[in-house]
Amino acid sequence: MADINFDTIKATIRDTVTHQTRSVSDWHLGEPVYEGSPEDDLHGIAGFRELAGRQHWANFQLWHVEDRARRTDVDAMVIADCKYAIDKLNQKRNDLIERVDECLIGMLAPLLPEDGAQRYNTETVGAALDRLSIQALKIFHMKEQCNRRDVDQSHVRQCNAKVDVLDTQHGDLVRAILELVDEYAAGTKKPKVYFQFKMYNDPSLNPELYKNKK
């Protein structure tokens, strides 16, 4: 197993971002298979990549279910099924963001300066990677709009301009994540997992579920 240090962690984050971009195209041709180790058993560099890949796959599925949920030419049951799937995928997506952060902190913990400052970011690396995942999906599908033949040139120009903005946002966020890891290395900040504590899927916390339980 390769030594884990700040450079290998940054390289792994770059690889993860590259995988997000590449897999959006690949997965439109064939779906991935994520099976084997339970998420709680995934650790280290390989575990981080696997967890980030599973999180990106949840976003990929969510994107397309969200599209279907906007249709007005299908039976109401189809939309209801979409809403149910969206709920499950959102829960999966958020759970995996936390697992990505836990895995990252497990790698960082032995490397962090003991006297590091107790300062935290407004979002974690896992949450930022989630945003990059969604941006990768936006860029791919916006480029699809640029290549349509059933629209006028005004539509194409607008979509090309949006791709430029999305590319800039994507690059800025990647740089911000890598700079955050540098701040961890310098001891000016510390990583921390922020648990979402989603209530709507918990039958003991959602009043619509526990009040109407038969």
Q: How far is CA 182 from the centre of its chain?
A: 21
DSSP 110: G
Of 33-42, 140-149, 176-185, least confident by mean pLDDT is 33-42
Question: Long-range contacts of range 206-209, CB-CB < 8 Å, 24 or more positions apart?
Answer: none
Cβ–Cβ < 8 Å for 115, 187? yes
Pairwise CA distance, residues 128 & 132, whole Å: 6
pTM reported for the whole predicted model: 0.89
Sign of the Cα pseudo-torsion (181, 23, 100, 195, in order): positive
Residue-wise pLDDT tens digits, 70-91: 888 999 999 999 999 999 999 9
Average pLDDT over residues 9-24: 97
Nearest to residue 137, comparing CAs of 70, 66, 214? 66
Supply the pLDDT for residue 213: 74
Supply the pLDDT for residue 214: 64
Q: DSSP per residue over 143-210, as a string?
A: HHHHT-SSS-HHHHHHHHHHHHHHHHHHHHHHHHHHHHHHHHHHTS-----------TT-TTT-HHHH
Q: How many CB atoms lie within 10 A of CB 184?
A: 21
| pLDDT at position 56 over 50 | yes
E strands, the chain, where?
none
